[in-house]
Amino acid sequence: MPKEALLKPNLHEAYPMVTHGDGVYLFDSAGHRYLDGSSGAMTVSIGHGVAEVAEVMREQAGRVAFTYRTQFTNEPAEELARRLARVAPGDLNHAFFVSSGSEASEFAIRAAVGHWREKGEPQKVKVLGRESSYHGMTMGALSMSGHAARRPDYGSLLHSFPVSPPAYAYRHARAGESDAEYAARSVEEFEASIIAENPDTVAAVIVEPIVGAAGGVLVPPSGYLRLLREACDRQNVLLVLDEVITGAGRTGTWFACAREEVVPDVLLFGKGIGGGYAPLAGVLLRDHMVQIMRQGSGVTPFGHTFSNNPLGAATCLAVWDIIERDRVLENVRRRGVQLEEGLRKLASQYDYIADVRGRGLLWGFEFVLDPGTKRPPTASSYASTVFVKTCFSQGLMLYPAGIAPLNNAVIISPPLTINEAEIDELLARLAAAVTRMGAYIEKWRTEAP
Ligand SMILES: Cc1ncc(COP(=O)(O)O)c(C=O)c1O
């Protein structure tokens, strides 16, 4: 037998060999068909196998695939930056492109710390995040992440920036507390942690407008982001919003923060912007950030070999053209309503499904053993992984979420182009897997907490 040279995530598991994709479906070499209910990792925006995008990639690669950013600029990257500036809220008018969300997070740290250095405050270097958050696997990005499962292995390599609780009403709101009261209390807690850390040493705070993988789609109460913006201004720290998951139309608008009319100083995007066709992510900066650089050193934060890459940018433009041509954001809003209705119906039929939450085509829920007390399965049950594997074996891809001590949430985030019949199919397969989950739930109910 030939040796396996490629490292896979889990060395004890076998992975199907994908052969091709078509719309919301992927196919493997054994002839199985999978409905991509998670867009891989919330990435596939316009579906798989879109020939027009492949044609643009071929054409751009034939013309020029690579240039280095200190030697040339290129029209696809210029145009992608202009388009992003046009759809981004407020004066987020300046874009820089990298190859992954983690690199975008790193760039955000360099931009925030550099901003204060240029302003004569070089001691402002900390970036405060939240528990149950994820901003990437590079050491700076992980330092800002409160991802309990991914952090512990790296010890002192990581900065131990303090983290505040996320806005997570289902588990953290008090009985009788209104949305507005909970939003205010959450932000007060966050602001208290900035003050405790000494704001003169804090460069920025970073949050996901809706927490993805680390929480299983935690949607904050209305008003939360606006109050957070105000707290950052009061404490003289920058606000970084990580829209690597929520950006590029996933929640029905180009960026999730637009809904609350909140303009961060730095906005991160990734995943869906290239729809899986290009490994491209990036950062948008507000006018005032770039003005300070211009008045100071004139130097922007350092990038990478593949930053502002023409092939990546041209690919994103092709994805973007399809999003506009096919009115994909309208589809997200319409199909989002259908998906929400289906999920809520499912939750009303199975008492172990709790807190259906989301927006657009980004939805999550939790498994609980007792809806009254909200008791989750024990962390070692890995309910989310068990469920996602059950779905996968039935030809439905979902994303496991919710980190220790919970490990009990799941993300449903199909391609943004999914149609009505495909949502029905997704819901039917989901319902079958939820029914199958009943046997596990019964077993876990009898185990000691
Ligand atoms: C919110 C968020 N930020 C950043 C990242 C890191 O992106 P990447 O995996 O492309 O490095 C992720 C990845 O899942 C993410 O969900």
Give domain status of residue 399, yes or no: yes
Q: Is 102 in the pocket of ligand 1 (CB under 6 A)?
A: yes
Please check the confidence at residue 310 and state whether its pLDDT lies above 70: yes
Closest-lying ligand 1 atom to the alpha carbon of residue 281: 10
Q: Is 106 in the pocket of ligand 1 (CB under 6 A)?
A: no
245, 283, 306, 399, best to mutate for ligand 1 pocket (most atoms within 8 Å of CB):
245
For residues 43-69, average pLDDT? 98
Give domain status of residue 13, yes or no: no
pLDDT of residue 381: 92
Give domain status of residue 165, yes or no: yes
Q: In what side-by-side order are the strands of the sheet with 25-28?
A: 18-22, 25-28, 33-36, 396-397
What value does the mean pLDDT of the chain take? Answer: 96
pLDDT of residue 98: 98
Closest-lying ligand 1 atom to the alpha carbon of residue 41: 14
- Where residue 433 sits, what CATH number does that domain have? 3.90.1150.10
Indicate whether 127 and 247 sit together in one domain: yes
Indicate whether 225 and 371 sit together in one domain: no
pLDDT of residue 447: 86
CA gap 285, 445 in Å, rounded:
49
- Where residue 241 sits, what CATH number does that domain have? 3.40.640.10
Q: Is 134 in the pocket of ligand 1 (CB under 6 A)?
A: yes
CA gap 393, 103 in Å, rounded:
33
Indicate whether 399 and 286 sit together in one domain: no
Indicate whether 365 and 288 sit together in one domain: no
pLDDT digits (tens, 9 = 90+) for 227-245: 999 999 999 999 999 999 9
Domain count for the chain: 2
Give domain status of residue 204, yes or no: yes
pLDDT of residue 1: 53
For residues 68-91, average pLDDT? 98
pLDDT digits (tens, 9 = 90+) for 357-415: 999 999 999 999 999 999 999 989 999 999 999 999 999 999 999 877 889 999 999 99
Closest-lying ligand 1 atom to the alpha carbon of residue 208: 1
CA gap 167, 385 in Å, rounded:
24
What residue's CA is closest to ligand 1, atom 7? 101
pLDDT of residue 74: 98
Read off the pLDDT band of 2 (50, 70, 90).
Answer: low
Three-class secondary structure of residue 97 per DSSP: strand
Q: Ligand 1: distance of its center to the CA of 97 in Å?
A: 14
Q: Is 245 in the pocket of ligand 1 (CB under 6 A)?
A: yes
Indicate whether 290 and 342 sit together in one domain: no
Q: Ligand 1: distance of its center to the CA of 269 in Å?
A: 9
Q: Write out the residue range of the structural domain in which residue 220 sits.
A: 54-325
For residues 70-82, average pLDDT? 98
Alpha-carbon separation of residue 233 from 5, 28, 199, 383 (angstroms)? 51, 51, 11, 40
Q: Is 136 in the pocket of ligand 1 (CB under 6 A)?
A: yes
Indicate whether 234 and 158 sit together in one domain: yes
